[in-house]
């Protein structure tokens, strides 16, 4: 075990690599991410699979009120992303996560699709102007 102030050598954990690859594909809210990343920090950050975390520590470290923390934990448990036994929390592997936690395939971002213009956005015609357009623009207002 490392002494206080001593750097812990880097260790690669392929299990958590899968968690990090799966997180961008989820429909988690900002609060969900804050709580989940906090649990990951308390577990992986100290090379543990689970940690005993008191409710007051959640509110102190995430800056969320107790009610929001409680609702967020309930949502993460419902999606089977975390397990909780008393005050002991663990982030579960993505293959155990509920399918409702993930973004549906049909609703994923399509980079080829053209977005509709915003109300204040001006669209420019990139085609060559016609002769009548040039005559109209030459006339005085």
Query: Residue 91 is part of which domain span?
Result: 14-101
119 part of a folded domain: no
> Does residue 59 carry a pLDDT above 90?
yes
CATH classification of the domain holding 44:
1.10.10.10
109 part of a folded domain: no
Q: What is the mean pLDDT of the chain?
A: 81
Model pLDDT, residue 50: 93
Q: Which residue has the higher pLDDT, 8 or 13?
A: 8
Encode pLDDT of 12-47 as tens digits: 555 578 888 899 999 999 999 999 999 999 998 788
If you write DSSP's letter for every residue of 3-54 in order, what string do you get?
PTTPPPPP---HHHHHHHHHGGGB---HHHHHHHHHHHHHHGGGT-S-EE--
Q: CB atoms < 10 A from the CB of 83, how many?
A: 14
Q: What is the count of structural domains for the chain?
A: 1
Q: pTM for this structure? A: 0.65
123 part of a folded domain: no
User: Which pLDDT band holds residue 57 (cuts at 50, 70, 90)?
Assistant: very high
């Amino acid at each position: 075990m490392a002494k206080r102030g001593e750097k812990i050598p880097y260790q690669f954990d392929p299990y958590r690599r899968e968690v990090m690859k799966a997180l961008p594909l989820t429909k988690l809210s900002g609060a969900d991410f804050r709580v989940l990343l906090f649990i990951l920090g308390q577990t992986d950050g100290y090379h543990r699979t689970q940690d005993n975390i008191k409710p007051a520590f959640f509110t102190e470290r995430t800056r969320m009120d107790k009610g929001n923390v409680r609702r967020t934990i309930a949502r993460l448990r419902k999606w089977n992303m975390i397990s909780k036994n008393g005050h002991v929390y663990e982030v579960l592997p993505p293959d155990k996560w509920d399918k409702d936690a993930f973004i549906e395939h049909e609703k994923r971002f399509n980079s080829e699709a053209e977005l509709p213009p915003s109300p204040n956005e001006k669209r420019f015609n990139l085609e060559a102007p016609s002769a009548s357009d040039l005559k109209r623009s030459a006339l005085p207002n």
